[in-house]
Amino acid sequence: MLRSPLALLTLSLVCCVVFVFCGTALGQTSPATTDPQLSTRDVAAEQASAAANSFDQMIDRTIEREHFFMAQMKQLHPLVETYIQNLKEDKDLGAPVPVSDVYFLGRLDMSDGADDHTFSSPTTAGLGKRMLSKLKDVYSVKFLPLGFAQMVILDTDFRRQNYDFTFVRREFLGEVRCVVLDVGPKKGAPGGRFLGRIWIEDQDYNIVRFNGTYTQARRNAYYLHFDSWRQNLRPGTWLPSLIYSEESDMKSRLGQTLHYKAQTRLWGYNLKDLRRNSEFTEITVDAPQSVQDQSQKAQDASPIEAQRAWERQAEINVLDRLQQIGLLAPEGEIDKVLATVVNNVMVTNNLDIQPEIKCRVLMTTPLESFTIGHTIVMSRGMIDVLPDEAALAMILTHELAHIVLGHHLDTKMAFNDRMFFPDDRTFERMDFARDRAEEEAADKKAIELLDNSPYKDKLGNAGLFLKAVQARAPQLKNLIRAHLGDSLLNGNATRMSSLMTASAQFDPKKTDQVAALPLGGRVKVDPWNDQLELIKTKPVPISTAAEKMPFEVTPFFPFLTRLGTTPEKTAPAPEKTAAAPSGR
């Protein structure tokens, strides 16, 4: 039976409507008395004094909460992923387009200062070394991962004596009402201080967003502009989740102009709960069993069953390990969407595969997919950029073809000691890529499966997507290069290239031709528990070709919410009582 998955058919852009509340100054209160003998000047002075006291209290509370935040971050070790695109103006589009890219993935460690342990692979030797330079430094046009990790921190020593604070307005970020302040270092304060704007939620006075840069601390040090967001991940706890950084005209000491956009994502704050420990927390009661006939007595596994069980053991070991270190998302709603597409292909091709095929999502941005036994894995970035359901079916069917053809996982992974290695060596120790012969066989089989599927007449955009990949591959090598599995490119040719011949001519200037989406348009990540969900936003009409932004980095504007928030009920009117004596 065919089922229709959630539609993945339109360009989705995250947007947030901001409501600005202008008017009275922060903390302004009514005068303590309404004595008619008081002059207007006296009333104004009393109001100003009350507002100033309230403002100072808020600043003190905010600084206290920021110190608490720093103490929390020393206990947490989230994954930090930064993807950077260097840009150059395209005269035809009238907008900047990527000309090269950089990718970092590591685990943040602030327990003893700030440090970063970068995931490495045999093909990224330079990225695997620990960066010993200070967090905020970017030399010439060489990016360091710690420079972007630093953007989770407003100031390691945030104190009143170092800063001036200016009230701007009240503003909503999503459903969270905030006080907006401009912040700058006092005259004579040491360099390296934050300069910009902060948003403070008005219940516990946590900083939930800060936008700006750092002042220069020494000669030849370059400080980038950034927009850093925190989300309410636990009651009373706001933690970094998304950072957008951009420069368009920064001049390096070598005279080069730095023009780039970058996204930094943090997740995996609570990895200890992702381990398989249900056997210790779940109690099951088996129904009484009736007496079985001797012929039904349990028997040892047959050789075929034993081989399948051994392969399944290797699959479970790998999936558990990837989930425990935060690279693989826990099972969730997106897995079901992917599984529905796979099921649509299997049903129309009369495929019955045991054990059943499952789908999982890799948390990372680079575009890749692969199989681990009977599990199809697709990266979050791949799901983000695919233009429609048929293109999604194309990627999934290629991996399904590997399973149908019996391309197995290396069963050495069935020995659990193979999983005993540092997290940052994962890309070196795990490799699920196929050789060229297996890839070509899977391409051929996938075309056969798609020709018998519900998607056979809808693959035009899938071919356009492959053309867009081929066109951008020279500039976006780090986005298109796989770390664990198979790339979309086989040498200079794309995967399933025969689909390209049947698609329309690829034209980046046509507004009605969306071959690929920007990054971040489909999948929302919960940074605490790594759960994923599809972003449900209305499609946004494209007015110019520059707004298509295929595979490109865009700013973040998350809809902030509070945990456990319920609609406020109107408070009952107070009962009328006799006025109490003033006591004066």
> What is the gyration radius of the CA atoms in the chain, in angstroms?
28
Contacts (Cβ under 8 Å, ≥6 apart) of 385: 367, 465, 516, 517, 518, 519, 521, 550, 551
- CA-based diameter of the chain, in Å? 104
Alpha carbon 504 to chain centroid, angstroms: 32
pLDDT of residue 41: 55
Which alpha helices (H) appear in 355-497, and where do they start and end?
380-385, 389-404, 426-429, 436-451, 460-472, 477-480
Amino acid identity, position 34: T
Residues 6+ apart with CB under 8 A from 13: 518, 521, 537, 540, 554
Strand partners, 172: 177
Q: CATH number of the domain at 60-269, out of 1.20.58, 2.50.20, 2.60.40, 3.40.720?
A: 2.50.20
For residue 256, the model assigns a pLDDT of 72
Cβ 184 vs Cβ 164: under 8 Å: yes
3-state DSSP helix/strand/coil percent for the chain, to nearest 5? 30, 25, 45
* Confidence (pLDDT) at 47: 57
Q: What is the distance between the alpha carbons of residues 52 and 568, in angstroms, rounded to a whole number? A: 29
Amino acid at the residue 211: N
Residue of 397, 336, 387 lying closest to 532 (CA atoms): 336
CB atoms within 10 A of CB 71: 10
Q: What is the pLDDT of residue 513?
A: 87
User: Which residues, including other chains, have CB under 8 Å from residue 270's CB and lie 6 or more apart?
Assistant: 528, 529
Strand order in the sheet with 79-90: 20-21, 163-173, 176-185, 194-201, 207-214, 226-234, 237-251, 257-267, 79-90, 95-109, 115-118
Cβ atoms < 10 Å from Cβ of 26: 18
Residue 163's closest CA among 198, 211, 131, 195? Answer: 195
Domain boundaries in the chain? Answer: 60-269, 305-538
Q: How far lies 532's CA from each of 112, 150, 334, 337, in Å?
A: 31, 25, 7, 12
> In the 3-class helix/strand/coil scheme, how is 284-333 assigned residue by residue?
CCCCCCCCCCHHHCCCCCCHHHHHHHHHHHHHHHHHHHHHHCCCECCCCH
Minimal CA–CA distance to 13: which of 517, 493, 561, 527? 517
Decide: 354 and 556 in contact? Cβ < 8 Å: no
Q: How many CB atoms lie within 10 A of CB 151?
A: 25
CB 447 within 8 A of CB 495: no
* Contacts of 176-182 spanning 24+ positions with Cβ under 8 A: 176/201, 176/208, 176/232, 176/560, 176/561, 176/562, 177/21, 177/201, 177/202, 178/202, 178/208, 178/209, 179/26, 179/58
Q: What is the mean pLDDT of each run of 10 residues along the chain (584 residues)?
A: 39 28 33 48 56 84 95 91 93 89 89 60 40 30 65 90 95 96 91 93 96 79 88 94 92 74 94 54 44 61 86 92 94 96 97 94 96 96 95 96 93 88 83 91 96 94 93 94 86 81 86 91 94 86 89 95 61 38 34
CA distance 271 to 220: 39
Angle at the Cα of 6 (from 4 to 10), degrees rounded to 5? Answer: 115
Cα gap 108→111, rounded to integer Å: 9
Q: 460-470 burial, b if ≥16 CB within 10 A, otherwise e?
A: ebbbbbbbbbb
Full 3-state SS string of 254-270: CCCEEEEEEEEEEECCC
Burial annotation 187-225 (CB, 10 A radius, 16+ → b, else e): eeeeebbbbbbbbbbeebbbbbbbebbbeeeeeebbbbb
How high is the pLDDT of residue 23? 31
Tell me the pairing of strands 375-379 and 358-362.
parallel
Please report the pLDDT score of residue 51 as a whole number: 59
